[in-house]
Amino acid sequence: MLASGHGSNLQALLDAFREPAAPARIALVVSNKPAAGALERARHAGVATATIPEDGRDADALLALLARHDIALVVLAGYLKRVPDRVVAAYRGRMLNVHPALLPCFGGAGMYGRRVHEAVLASGARITGVTVHLVDEQYDHGRILAQWPVPVHAGDTAETLAARVLETEHRLLPAVVGAFARCGGEPRCFLAADALGPAPSPQPDFADALTTL
């Protein structure tokens, strides 16, 4: 797993795959930020950790780390650097990213953290969500594996919206990683539409929605 931040998604994966019979095991957490909370969470869980230079550009170092730990699937969660092309190529179809919006909207270079949620609020969108997608050479661009909607509420701030979206990330990412692992890493691995239960209905009553305009 590659992470630059708090590592709450890492925690969700650690919690989901705690049992020895779990379909996946977190073998290594790599960060370009030595102070990242993700590293602390990994150490606490007894998972191997490594740091790489802040700019994340050293493909050889990253490839050597992944090989040394026999990594089958790379998960990016809150990792803020573009993964070097050679690493993307080596793990094509085996590298996932979680993005806190419904791609292809509100993604791309510079669209991370609260900026994503600010852009959603500024757009007037009433629905946002979570996307888990394969990683390719462009930011937030690879094939989408799973998405889940999250309603935008009147009065939301970037913080309240981020918190609601993050809860869904913590459910969707383990579901996708589990499905991926059970399929033996096959990229043709889709979640059932109801994998997380019924999707929220942000505007259950169309007439009510119109009165808020």
Tell me which residues touch ligand GRF (CB under 6 A): 3, 5-9, 38, 77-78, 98-100, 112, 166, 169
CB 46 to ligand GRF: min, Å? 19
For ligand GRF, the closer CB: 77 or 102: 77
CB 179 to ligand GRF: min, Å? 18
| H-helix or E-strand spanning residue 147 | strand 144-151
Buried b (16+ CB within 10 A) or exposed e, 51-69: ebeeebeebebbbebbeee
Residues belonging to the active site: 99
d(CA 84, CA 70): 19
Residue nearest to ligand GRF (CB): 78
Residue 96 corresponds to which amino acid? L
CB 34 to ligand GRF: min, Å? 15
Task: Residue 4: name the closest of 35, 43, 27 by CA.
Answer: 35
For ligand GRF, the closer CB: 38 or 103: 38
Angle between helices 158-182 and 8-16 (to 10 degrees): 40
For ligand GRF, the closer CB: 174 or 178: 174
